[in-house]
Amino acid sequence: MARNGASTVLLERYGHLGGMATGGLVLVIMPMSDGTAEQQIAGLCQEVVDRLDVMGAAIHPEKKDLGSSDSRLVSCWKRYAFSVIEGKIRLSATVDPEALKCVLNDMVTEARVSLLLHSLETRAIAQQNELQGVICESKSGRQAVLGKVIIDATGDGDVFASAGAPFDSTMNPAMRSSRLALTFRMGNIDSNRYFSFRESEALKHADLMRELEGLGGFTMYIKTTREDVMWVNNFIPGLNPLNAADLTWLEINGRKRALITQRFLKEHVPGFESSFIMDTASQIGVRSSRRLIGEHILTEQDIFSGTVFPDTIAVCPDFRHTVSPEHPHWHVPYRSLIPNHVDRLLVAGRCFSSDPVANDLLAPIQFCIAMGQAAGTAAALAIKHGVAVRRLDYRLLHNSLVDQGVPLPNIES
Ligand SMILES: Cc1cc2nc3c(=O)[nH]c(=O)nc-3n(C[C@H](O)[C@H](O)[C@H](O)COP(=O)(O)OP(=O)(O)OC[C@H]3O[C@@H](n4cnc5c(N)ncnc54)[C@H](O)[C@@H]3O)c2cc1C
């Protein structure tokens, strides 16, 4: 938004930017490419990766190797999450979340964004159906922040819920996205030793993992940017991400289970002999909560049929290859960022307008960044041209995003 010329205030409830990708310790940016040499997600997400590269804080395959099935490359990358899918190299980046916090700070300060950290948005200010700003609470007290366009990128849709925009928060308990997490990192491990054990003694490893699960421990270990640090991911069912009592329960219970995990691994699993819990996530991992009901609800059917929209703002590579092999790209339309009934509001990130299946597939970090880039650009263009965001000429948005390096389908000019 600010880079496109609009005066911008950014509110954040915690002391750093990045949400799940930093405070949630989600340190893998899922594929930005589809298993060919082409890259579908670039733009701001690529810039973030490039800046991390300069700091030596990201690990990912080289662009020249994308789509390769060369056995030497595949065996080099297969231990990194999502870098090899169905035997082909993808552009997926494992990043250092502390470096990412610094990169995001640099990007917003360079763009002259007025950043207010430690500021929780608590209520929308709306007259009839027109959103005018938000109330936030901080150590400075209660404050109103007004704007011509407000972007709700809270993940949970706090702004649109308060503004009275329709939304859905029903979850399918069978889906991964309904599960919460308290992730953590373990330090002083020997990841090579661990992965060699896991690969060479798969049955023994599986037995140990079953035993650990029986004790309540976590068994999903993901490689980080460091050989001596492992990320532990988990999936906790049956909790409501919008309920403070449930979140509190997980803060306590999740840490107990992290300790069980660490003690067991230290005692029984090669590579973890000297391990310790390096840090637990400073925020509960929420995969999905409120979903906007917007001008277009992106559906499972859209995903399965590979629908290309006349207002596509992001082309998202299928990272599971189980959804629809003949349609390797999922398209997000601008209308999925626009609420019904409430004006001067756009939505970006995991709370965008989608059904549970589309939401589950399109919530990864790289897609959320792409939606954020589109929403910010649209807001700035709408202000510049004096039109409502829902009336913005898509061609303006398309051309501006393409100029910013976002790969989009061609449109007739
Ligand atoms: C455990 C777990 C593992 C995952 N694994 C992966 C993975 O490996 N790769 C991948 O790409 N994706 C993964 N995901 C999904 C991905 O991390 C998220 O879907 C994505 O990061 C969401 O981004 P977002 O910006 O929409 O929301 P968030 O990351 O939740 O960001 C929302 C931001 O808004 C702030 N905020 C919220 N409410 C308010 C308020 N009222 N006032 C002020 N500020 C507020 C938050 O503090 C936060 O900074 C995972 C998710 C989880 C939970």
pLDDT, one tens digit per residue, over 227-246 is 999 999 999 999 999 999 99
* pLDDT tens digits along 109-127: 999 999 999 999 999 999 9
- Contact in structure between 361 and 354 (CB atoms under 8 Å): no
Q: How far apart are CA 358 and CA 112, in angstroms?
A: 34
Tell me how far the alpha carbon of residue 55 lies from the centroid of ligand 1, in angstroms.
Answer: 23
Q: How confident is the model at residue 411 (pLDDT cuts 50, 70, 90)?
A: confident
Q: What is the mean pLDDT of residues 327-346?
A: 96
Which atom in ligand 1 lies closest to the alpha carbon of residue 288? 19
Give the per-residue pLDDT at 321.
66
What are the backbone dihedrals phi and psi of residue 94, each rounded to the nearest 5 degrees, phi first? -95, 125
Tell me how far the alpha carbon of residue 393 lies from the centroid of ligand 1, in angstroms.
Answer: 30
Query: Which residues make up the CATH 3.30.70 domain(s) of the chain?
Result: 180-286
Q: How far apart are CA 212 and CA 195, in angstroms?
A: 17
- Domain 180-286 fold is Alpha-Beta Plaits (3.30.70)
Average pLDDT, the chain: 96
Q: Whose CA is nearest to atom 38 of ligand 1?
A: 154
Q: Whose CA is nearest to atom 34 of ligand 1?
A: 154
Contacts of residue 119, defined as CB under 8 A and 6 or more positions apart, other chains included, come to 11, 12, 13, 136, 137, 138, 143
Query: Which residues make up the CATH 3.50.50 domain(s) of the chain?
Result: 1-171+300-413
Q: Whose CA is nearest to atom 13 of ligand 1?
A: 364
Q: Whose CA is nearest to atom 46 of ligand 1?
A: 19
Residue 59, CB-side half-sphere exposure with 13 Å CA sphere: 17
1-171+300-413: CATH, from 1.10.3470, 3.40.50, 3.50.50, 3.30.70: 3.50.50
Give the per-residue pLDDT at 413.
61
